[in-house]
């Protein structure tokens, strides 16, 4: 694999402009001071209780995501390009969803194959022909971006269901500002703190017609045992809305109410962090205790807005991903600003043959997997793992896609042996309301802390960094 | 507010209050049992600690003998005792997590820090008496900090009132229980009235509700069973007395009633209990029987808990 693009250092010894002040500061700051601040940061995170749960880990149900104190920095110009690309991409995602659940022009134009939609378990026939308020499906999108050079931004994955991580964007900034006020004084960092306001405004703007002029918004969480529970409570608090569980809600006459100490109170918009499958036991999984019986009929009656809408999984499915450049062109008539990773669709025999021949160099992902589980990173895998994967692939080729192993860009990161480059990605959060799309300048930078590792997922030993967009 | 949030706040406060009460009970029992045998008499103080905590039955399912080691372990650290101090703190943390948005950061920090310390320092229990003393102090300080941060940082709205109701309901129950277990000591007819045994028994009662100094300030008298009962039951200047708890419960329920624009059975029931306490005097109570009076109170108090739950929390 080629040497990765480093976002700070240019081979030959020069620095990329956005990092010059940081480099100067690093030179002035003794390593012990950095280590001391790192420990302080960890203490803060633990005290605030910013933890996440790792499924299948009985040892400790609550863990901290390691936090790296070296910020990841982008120039305002780089951000402007990225922002434009993100808005374009999310617009296309919303138009695609509207089309799939209504006219299906894109299928008739044979841009996307029918069976990829209709045989996809995340396609929701319940949504066929259903009007969603203001035609917004994906109110909150988390688009995973990687870089391999100074020019392009590449989308690794679209997250259009219930993307998480935004609390880290906000808390990382809080903690950095507390620990390194001097460093902030020396940079002009665009603030991220208005995210909760923007989110609330977006959610209120999509309230159903039957709502009052002061719509009530609530955040629906699966509960304290969910891995992202901290984020749910954090956001509810910042937004000033109730954090509800399924058992707090009740549907009467196709309206949704929450049980309060003063009786039932109508809810108009639910920012739901519960997956489609668990939303309503009458429609989806009957064994779900996380959902609200009757919620889908209130939704169909147009009395409640769900954000994100039901059925958005069909847009961020890994099998659909490879069609995204065509999807953007089809709906917007524009060239996609953000690139896609070249993707082999294992469902297509030609592609499958190529993938089987080159397993050692490719990354193979399950179409329906997430969180970095169940994927093969060819260059890092043992022979036995590759052979086992080959069998899985042959058995069920339509369940997989393959991509070249990208040399993800690196950023300087604190390690046991001092600063060293580590691979990073970025998840900015795109908010879509009834009238406008906004993106707070920044996002969640995830970093693979192990040397050479390309897996940034927190469930697999990844950490996070504060992301700075310079306001030049 | 969400009924579930109110319920969590209410129980969170109860768990913290209960943990403190258990710590005080253990502390007071340690003091009495440290005395030479002649001062203690034949009663098993550890047994009565179990009784005041209301866990004697479940204790004997797991242990043969109520001695210091077993009882301290069961009341403080046991994971098998649903209301051990450890489980109270665990439950308080879980409740806090589910109502984070209704807690101030100071309250959350108190509970979360206590929980972290419980894991870090006390996962194996206390190995020495000094250790145990440190643990009991830690528990009491956690409760004080929690109470103090609630008092100093919470908005005075229904969230605060539900949380305070949890404190006072639990506190009334605890005070009543300790009185009930020790009531035989308070009865003037008992044979060794005035002996050294009584003195230490009484002072241990007062200590477990942090009222030993208060007693002297209020009555300027040597310890007398009559006055101790008066202090713990009827004297509304003592924060842990039944009268004081009910003064507060009635006030909190009234505040909720005003805020919500309507009253209900909880308000009426609490007022009834408060009125009974206001119109009682120790003479009548002793005539009627302390045990009977307290038994009735405990039943009334837990009935109020049920009514509050029905009216607001589900």
**Span B65-69, mean pLDDT?**
93
In chain B, pLDDT over 90 holds for what percent of residues?
67
- Over range A252-268, report the average pLDDT: 96
B82: number of CA atoms within 13 Å, CB side? 4
Across the interface, whether the CB atoms of A261 and B98 are under 8 A apart is answered no
Residues B119 and B247 in one domain: no
CB contacts, 8 Å: A236 with chain B = 101
Identify whether A308 is preceded by a cis peptide bond (ω within 30 of 0): yes
If we measure between CA atoms, which residue out of B164, B307, B308, B174 comes closest to residue B247?
B164
pLDDT at B201: 76
DSSP letter at A15? Answer: B
A427 Cβ partners below 8 Å, 6+ apart? A142, A143, A144, A145, A159, A163, A165, A443, A444, A446
Whose tokens are 């029992």? That residue is B29
Substitution target in B92, B93, B96, B97 with the highest count of A β-carbons within 10 Å is: B97
What does the pLDDT read at residue A288? 80
User: Which of A129, A38, A4, A153 minimizes the C-alpha distance to A466?
Assistant: A38
Residues B308, B160 share a domain: yes
DSSP track, A136-160: -S-SEEEEEEE-SSSS--EEEEEE-
Contacts of residue B2 in chain A, CB cutoff 8 Å? 242, 244, 248, 258-261
Chain B, residues 82-121, CB within 8 A of chain A, namely 94, 97-98, 100-101, 108-109, 112-113, 116
At residue B264, the pLDDT reads 95
Q: Specify the number of domains making up chain B.
A: 2
Q: Which of B6, B108, B116 sits opposite A261 (nearest CB)?
A: B6
**Mutation target among B3, B90, B123 for the A interface, most CBs of A within 10 A:** B3
The pLDDT of residue A448 is above 60:
yes
Q: Residues A470, A190: contact at Cβ < 8 Å?
A: yes
Q: Is the Cβ pair A260, B3 closer than 8 Å?
A: yes
Q: Is A321 helix (H, G, I), strand (E, B) or coil?
A: helix
Interface test with A, best of B3, B90, B101 (most A CBs within 10 A): B101
Contacts of B100 in chain A (CB under 8 A): 49, 233-234, 237, 243
Of residues A459 and A407, which shows the higher confidence score?
Answer: A407
Task: Please indicate whether, in this complex, the C-beta atoms of A262 and B116 are within 8 angstroms of each other.
Answer: no
The confidence score (pLDDT) of residue B194 equals 45
Asked whether the predicted pLDDT for residue B206 surpasses 60, the reply is yes
Same structural domain, B80 and B162: no
A chain contacts of residue B101, beta-carbon cutoff 8 Å: 233, 236-237, 242-243
- Residue A52 β-bridge partners: A63
Using H for helix, E for strand and C for coil, what is the string for chain B? CEHHHHHHHHHHHHHHHHHHHHHHHHHHHHHHHCCCHHHHCCCCHHHHHHHHHCCHHHHHHHCCCCCHHHHHHHHHHCCCCCCCHHHHHHHHHHHHHHCHHHCCHHHHHHHHHHHHHHHHHHCCCCCCHHHHHHHHHHHHHHHHHHHHHHHHHCCCCHHHHHHHHHHHHHHHHHHHHHHHHHHHHHCCCCCCCCCHHHHHHHHHHHHHCCCHHHHHHHHCCCCCHHHHHHHHHCCCCCCCCHHHHHHHHHHHHHHHHHHHCCCCHHHHHHHHHHHHHHCCCHHHHHHHCHHHHHHHHHHHHHHHHHHHHHHHHC
Same domain, B168 and B145: no
Residue among A178, A124, A119, A128 at smallest CA distance from A396: A119
**Contact: B2, A233; criterion CB under 8 Å:** no
For residues A92 and A328, the answer to whether their CB atoms sit within 8 Å is yes
Do B64 and B121 lie in one domain? The reply is yes
Host H or E run for residue A78:
helix A76-100
Across the interface, which of A46, A233, A248 has its CB nearest the CB of B2? A248
Residue of A nearest to B94 (CA): A224
On whether the CB atoms of residues A181 and A173 are closer than 8 A, the answer is no
**Residues of chain B found within 8 Å of residue A234, distances taken between Cβ atoms:** 100
pLDDT in tens, A269-300: 999 999 999 999 998 888 888 899 999 999 99
Residues contacting A430, CB < 8 A, separation 6+: A86, A87, A89, A90, A140, A141, A142, A143, A437, A438, A439
Of the candidates A237, A244, A260, which has its C-beta nearest B100's C-beta? A237
Q: Which residues of B touch A43 (CB under 8 A)?
A: none
Q: Which residues of B14-24 are buried (b: 16+ CB within 10 A; e: fewer)?
A: bbbbbbbbbbb
Asked whether residue A97 carries a pLDDT value surpassing 90, the answer given is yes
Check residue A223 and give left, alpha or beta (phi > 0: left; psi -120 to 50: alpha).
left
Nearest CA in chain A to B112: A47
DSSP A243: E
Tokens at A3, concatenated:
């040497």
What pLDDT is stored for residue B111 in this prediction? Answer: 95
- Tell whether B8 and B92 lie within a shared domain: yes
Q: How far is CA A376 from CA A157, A225, B245, in A?
A: 16, 29, 63
CA proximity to A283, closest of A294, A299, A272: A294
Asked if B101's CB is within 8 angstroms of A236's CB, the reply is yes
Q: The tokens of B232 are what?
A: 């713990």
Nearest to B108 among A49, A229, A259 (CB): A49
Q: Are residues B131 and B192 in the same domain?
A: no
> Are B250 and B236 contacting, i.e. CB atoms less than 8 angstroms apart?
no
Greatest extent of chain B over all pairs of C-alpha atoms, in Å: 60
The two most distant CA atoms of chain A are separated, in Å, by: 70
Contact at CB, A224 and B98, closer than 8 angstroms? yes
* CB-based contacts of A85, cutoff 8 Å, min separation 6: A153, A336, A337, A338
Assess whether pLDDT exceeds 50 at residue A134.
Answer: yes
* Low-confidence winner among A116-120, A262-266, B222-226, B304-308 (lowest mean pLDDT): B222-226
Is A47 in contact with B6 (Cβ distance < 8 A)?
A: no
Interface of A with B (CB under 8 A): 46-47, 49, 223-224, 229, 233-234, 236-237, 242-245, 247-248, 258-262
Give the mean pLDDT of B269-280.
95
Say whether pLDDT at A102 is over 50.
yes
CA-based angle B224:B225:B226, to the nearest 5?
A: 90
Domain boundary residue, one of B154, B173, B208:
B154
Angle among Cα A266, A267, A271 to the nearest 5 degrees reads: 170
For residue B192, the model assigns a pLDDT of 43
Label residue A56 by pLDDT band (50, 70, 90): very low
Distances (CA, A) of A26 to A70, A71, A415, B254: 9, 11, 14, 60
Select, from the ranges A385-394, B207-216, B303-312, the one with the highest average predicted confidence (pLDDT). B303-312
Q: Does B3 sit within 8 Å of A259, measured CB to CB?
A: yes
Task: Over range A200-213, report the average pLDDT.
Answer: 94
**Segments forming the whole domain that contains residue B258:** 156-314
Split at pLDDT 50, 70, 90, the class of B286 is: confident
Coil vs helix vs strand at A375 = coil
Q: Does residue B93 sit in the same domain as residue B168?
A: no
Q: What is the average per-residue pLDDT within B228-236?
A: 92
Q: Which of B154, B179, B214 is the last residue of a domain?
A: B154
Q: How far apart are CA A311 and CA A359, in angstroms?
A: 32
Please check whether residues B88 and B179 belong to one and the same domain. no
CA distance B280 to A173: 60
Residue A358, H or E segment: none
For residue A309, pLDDT over 80 is answered with yes
The shortest C-alpha distance from A238 to chain B (Å) reads 9
Mean pLDDT score, B80-101 = 92
Distance between first and last Cα of chain B:
12
Residue of B nearest to A260 (CA): B2
The phi and psi torsions of B94 (rounded to 5 degrees) equal -65, -45
pLDDT surpassing 90 at residue A13: no
Residue A75's alpha-carbon distances to A184, A468, A471, B190, in angstroms, are: 15, 8, 7, 85
Q: pLDDT for A335-361, tens place per residue? A: 999 999 999 999 999 999 999 999 999
Lookup result for tokens 């679209």: A158
CB-neighbour burial class of residue A108 (10 A; exposed 0-12, middle 13-18, buried 19+): exposed
- Give residue A372's pLDDT band: very low, low, confident or very high (50, 70, 90): low
Residue B61: pLDDT over 90? yes
> CA-to-CA distance for A297 and A316, rounded, in angstroms?
25
| Per-chain mean pLDDT for chain B | 90
Quote the CA–CA distance of B150 and B234 in Å, as a whole number. 26
Q: Are A229 and A281 in contact (CB under 8 A)?
A: no
Do B99 and B35 share a domain, yes or no? yes
State the Cα–Cα distance between residues B206 and B213, nearest whole angstrom: 9
Round to whole Å and give the CA distance between B307 and B108: 28
Q: Judge if B56 and B193 occupy the same domain.
A: no
Spatial contact of A423 and A20, defined as CB atoms under 8 Å apart: no
* Domains of chain A, earliest start first: 209-303 (3.40.50.11290), 342-405 (3.30.1490.270)
Q: Which domain-ending residue is among B136, B154, B172? A: B154
Query: Burial of B268 by CB count in 10 Å (0-12 exposed, 13-18 middle, 19+ buried)?
Result: exposed
The yes-or-no verdict on residue A251 having pLDDT over 50 is yes
| B192 shares a domain with B141 | no
Q: Cβ separation of A260 and B313 shorter than 8 Å?
A: no
Residues 146-175 in B contacting A (C-alpha not used; CB under 8 Å)? 158, 162
- The model's pLDDT over B153-199, given as tens digits with 9 standing for 90+, comes to 999 999 999 999 999 999 999 999 888 887 766 565 544 444 555 67
> Is A150:A17 a contact under the CB 8 Å cutoff?
no
């Amino acid at each position: 694999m080629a040497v990765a693009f480093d976002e700070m250092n240019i081979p030959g010894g020069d620095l990329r402009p956005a990092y010059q002040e940081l480099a100067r500061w690093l030179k002035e700051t003794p390593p012990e001071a950095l280590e001391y601040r790192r420990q302080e940061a960890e203490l803060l995170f633990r005290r605030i209780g910013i933890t996440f749960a790792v499924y299948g880990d009985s040892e400790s149900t609550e863990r901290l995501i390691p936090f790296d104190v070296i910020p990841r920095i982008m120039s305002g110009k780089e951000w402007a390009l990225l922002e434009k690309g993100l808005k374009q991409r999310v617009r296309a995602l919303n138009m695609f969803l509207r089309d799939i659940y209504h006219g299906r022009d894109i299928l008739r134009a044979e841009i996307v194959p029918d069976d990829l939609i209709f045989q996809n378990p995340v396609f929701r026939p319940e949504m066929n022909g259903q009007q969603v308020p203001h035609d917004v499906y994906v109110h909150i999108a988390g688009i995973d971006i990687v870089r391999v050079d100074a020019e392009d931004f590449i989308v690794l994955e679209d997250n259009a269901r219930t993307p998480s991580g935004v609390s880290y964007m906000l808390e990382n900034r809080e903690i950095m500002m507390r620990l390194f006020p001097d460093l902030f004084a020396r940079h002009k960092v665009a603030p991220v703190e208005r995210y909760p306001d923007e989110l609330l405004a977006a959610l209120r703007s999509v309230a159903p017609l039957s709502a009052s002029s002061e719509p009530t918004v609530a955040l629906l969480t699966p509960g304290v045992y969910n891995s992202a529970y901290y984020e749910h409570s954090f956001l509810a608090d910042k937004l000033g809305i109730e954090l509800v569980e399924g058992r707090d809600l009740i549907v009467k006459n196709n309206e949704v109410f929450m049980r309060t100490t003063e009786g039932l109170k109508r809810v108009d918009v639910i920012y739901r962090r519960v997956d489609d499958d668990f939303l309503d036991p009458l429609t989806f999984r009957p064994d779900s205790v996380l959902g609200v019986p009757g919620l889908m009929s209130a939704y169909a009656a147009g009395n409640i807005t769900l954000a994100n809408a039901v059925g958005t999984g069909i847009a961020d499915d890994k099998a659909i991903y490879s069609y995204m450049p065509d999807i953007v062109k089809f709906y917007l008539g524009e060239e996609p600003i953000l690139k896609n990773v070249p993707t082999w669709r294992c469902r297509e025999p030609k592609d499958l043959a190529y993938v089987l021949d080159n397993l050692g160099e490719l990354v193979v992902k399950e179409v329906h997997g997430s969180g970095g589980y169940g994927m093969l990173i060819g260059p890092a895998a043992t022979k036995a793992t590759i052979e086992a994967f080959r069998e899985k692939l042959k058995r069920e080729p339509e369940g997989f896609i393959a991509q070249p192993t990208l040399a993800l860009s690196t950023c300087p990161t604190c390690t046991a042996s001092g600063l060293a480059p580590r691979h990073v990605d970025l998840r900015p959060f795109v908010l879509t309301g009834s009238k406008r799309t906004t993106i707070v300048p920044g996002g969640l930078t995830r970093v693979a802390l192990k040397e050479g590792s390309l897996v940034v997922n927190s469930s697999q030993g990844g950490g996070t960094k504060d992301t700075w967009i310079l306001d030049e | 507010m969400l009924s579930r949030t109110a319920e969590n706040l209410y129980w969170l406060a109860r768990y913290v209050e209960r943990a403190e009460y258990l710590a005080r009970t253990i502390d007071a029992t340690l003091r009495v049992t440290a005395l030479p045998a002649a001062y203690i008499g034949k009663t098993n103080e550890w047994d009565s600690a179990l009784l005041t905590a209301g866990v004697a039955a479940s204790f004997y399912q797991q242990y043969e003998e109520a001695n210091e080691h077993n009882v301290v372990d069961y009341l403080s650290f046991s994971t098998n005792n649903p209301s051990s101090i450890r489980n109270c703190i665990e439950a308080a943390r879980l409740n806090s997590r589910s109502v984070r948005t209704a807690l101030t950061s100071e309250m959350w920090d108190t509970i979360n820090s206590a929980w972290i310390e419980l894991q870090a320092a006390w996962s194996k229990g206390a190995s020495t008496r000094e250790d145990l003393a440190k643990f009991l102090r830690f528990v009491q300080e956690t409760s004080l900090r929690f109470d103090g941060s609630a008092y100093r940082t919470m908005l005075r709205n229904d969230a605060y009132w539900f949380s305070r109701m949890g404190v006072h309901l639990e506190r009334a129950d605890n005070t009543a229980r300790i009185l009930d277990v020790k009531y035989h000591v308070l009865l003037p007819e008992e044979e060794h009235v005035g002996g050294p045994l009584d003195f230490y028994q009484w002072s241990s009662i007062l200590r477990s509700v942090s009222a030993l100094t208060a007693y002297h300030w209020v009555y300027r008298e040597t310890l007398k069973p009559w006055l101790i009962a008066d202090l713990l039951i009827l004297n509304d200047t003592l924060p842990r007395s039944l009268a004081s708890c009910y003064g507060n419960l009635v006030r909190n329920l009234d505040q909720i009633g005003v805020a919500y624009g309507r009253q209900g059975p909880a308000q009426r029931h609490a007022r009834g209990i408060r009125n009974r306490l206001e119109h009682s005097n120790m003479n009548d109570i002793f005539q009627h029987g302390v045990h009977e009076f307290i038994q009735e109170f405990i039943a009334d108090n837990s009935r109020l808990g049920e009514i509050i739950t029905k009216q607001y929390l589900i």
